[in-house]
Amino acid sequence: MLSYIVRRLGATVVVMAVVAFVVFSLLYLTPGDPAAVIAGDVATSEDIARIRQSLGLDQPFLVRFGSWVWALLHGDMGTSIFNSLPVSKLIGQRVEPTLSLTICTLIVAILTSVPLGAIAAARAESKLDHAIMGFSVLGFSIPVFVLAYLLILLFSLQLHWLPVQGYRPISEGIWPWFKHLILPSLALGTVYAALIARITRASILDVLSQDYIRTAQAKGLKESDIMIHHALKNAAVPIITIIGIGIGLLISGAVVTETVFAIPGIGRLTVDAILRRDYPIIQGVILIFSATYVMINLFIDLSYVFFDPRIRY
């Protein structure tokens, strides 16, 4: 397994290098001039040229890319164009809200989708199965921002149970922190749970048709024991795989969710940076998201060994 981990880490380095080049190239080719935005509407061409020179935007593409990569290798993700703060510091300030939202969303999605998928498989073609799958299709079809506004309308504006927007650090107390994360987690977790539930149902249905399941039934084992100790365990690999693949959906959904609920996380930082064409922040955030996605999928691949001993690396 050690050699497999080393190979995957080597492949991760290559992937991150490609991502870095593509991100830098796309932002370089994107229309719009940050210097003109900083200078304002009344600035002269000389003012814009002076700002471009101070920011290094007048240098050739390869020179700018090489300087950026060299600084990145030394732990320097650059400096924000607009507030002159290090990108790493700005991202570090926004980690807690995004991490809190992600963890709560994962808990909501996994704890609801896996049992629902298992129940749907155990009651295949029944009314309960059709109801659960109907919920899955509906949940995956509704955009995150639409569901978010519906939840705000019901639980915040009509029932006055939960706050409309905002975030409270966990240092201010567990309940204020959790109360501001309930609606965002439900909005983002519903879409994620719908995807996992469908894959869970399909995987368990495939396992339930195997001979060893019929043998367990013939021995008189309880249906719940068969489902938990035989079916669900052997169907875990596809379920874990879709959870890892869905992290990309979770990351993109977090950007929208944080914007709707005014959560000062990395997603909100990304939106603000795009609107202001703050290239260093955009590049840093995309690299962080890409590295997180790659490492999570590496962890998912390694976890296969624990769920299916037949898998060897």
Q: What is the pLDDT of residues 57-83, one digit of tens each?
A: 677 778 888 888 888 888 888 888 777
At 184 the pLDDT is 92
CATH number at residue 243: 1.10.3720.10
% of the chain beyond a pLDDT of 70: 90
- Which pLDDT score, from 0 to 100, does residue 177 have? 92
Residue 170 has pLDDT above 70, yes or no: yes
The three-state secondary structure class of 81 is coil
Same domain, 140 and 266: yes
- Report yes or no: 68 and 78 within 8 Å, Cβ to Cβ: yes
pLDDT at 311: 67
pLDDT at 34: 65
Whether 150 and 178 share a structural domain: yes
Mark whether 226 and 123 lie in a shared domain: yes
What is residue 180's DSSP assignment? T
> Pick from 33, 34, 28: which is nearest to 62 by CA?
28
Let me know whether 192 and 238 are in one domain.
yes
Q: Is residue 16 part of a domain?
A: yes
Residue 94 lies in a domain: yes
* 78 in a structural domain: no
- Per-residue pLDDT at 33: 64
**Contact of 218 with 137, CB cutoff 8 Å:** no
Q: For the chain, give the percent of residues with pLDDT over 90.
A: 7
85 domain residue, yes or no:
no
What confidence tier does 152 reach under pLDDT thresholds 50, 70, 90? very high
Alpha-carbon Rg for the chain in angstroms: 24
User: Model confidence at 39, in pLDDT bands (50, 70, 90)?
Assistant: low
Shared domain for 38 and 141, answered yes or no, is no
Place of tokens 């944080």: 258
**DSSP strands (E only) in 60-168:** none
pLDDT at site 49: 77
- Whose CA is closest to 256, among 192, 199, 309? 192
Domain presence at residue 280: yes
**Mean pLDDT of the residues in the chain:** 82
Q: How far, in Å, CA of 74 to CA of 69, rounded? A: 9
Token pair 């000062």 in the structure block, residue: 264
Coil/strand/helix, residue 79:
strand
Query: Domain check: are 168 and 246 in the same one?
Result: yes
pLDDT-derived band of residue 313, with 50, 70 and 90 as boundaries?
A: low
Same domain? 191 vs 260? yes
Please tell me the total count of domains within the chain: 2
161 shares its domain with 187: yes
pLDDT of 190 > 80? The answer is yes
Position with higher pLDDT, 245 vs 188: 188
Selection from 307, 296, 309 nearest residue 235 by Cα: 307
18, 39, 73 - which closes a domain: 73
For residue 62, give its domain range: 2-73
Please tell me which of 25-39, 47-61, 253-267 the model is most confident about, judged by mean pLDDT.
253-267
8 A C-beta contact, residue 240 and residue 297: no
64 in any annotated domain: yes
Please determine, for residue 147, whether its predicted confidence score (pLDDT) is greater than 70: yes
CB atoms within 10 A of CB 261: 25
207 near 234, Cβ under 8 Å? yes
pLDDT at residue 12 is higher than 70 = yes
Using CA atoms, how far residue 137 sits from 12, 19, 133, 149, 258, in Å, is: 34, 32, 6, 19, 24
Tell me which amino acid residue 42 is.
V
Check whether residue 131 and residue 98 sit in a common domain. yes
**How far from the centroid of its chain's Cα atoms is residue 97's Cα?**
13
Last residue of a domain, which of 46, 73, 100? 73
Last residue of a domain, one of 43, 73, 103: 73
Task: Evaluate whether residue 79 is within a structural domain.
Answer: no
One domain for residues 127 and 260:
yes
Task: Say which residues have a Cβ less than 8 Å from residue 168's Cβ, sequence separation at least 6.
Answer: 176, 177, 179, 180
pTM across the whole model: 0.80
273-276: long-range pairs with CB below 8 Å, 24+: 273/80, 276/34, 276/37, 276/81, 276/82
Residue 68, C-beta contacts closer than 8 angstroms, at least 6 positions apart? 24, 78, 283
Query: Does 23 share its domain with 107?
Result: no
Which tokens is 56 given? 């290094």
Identify the DSSP state of 167: -
Looking at the structure, do residues 211 and 104 belong to the same domain, yes or no? yes
Helix, coil or strand: residue 86? strand
The string of pLDDT tens digits covering residues 90-134 is: 888 888 999 899 889 988 888 998 888 888 888 888 888 899 888
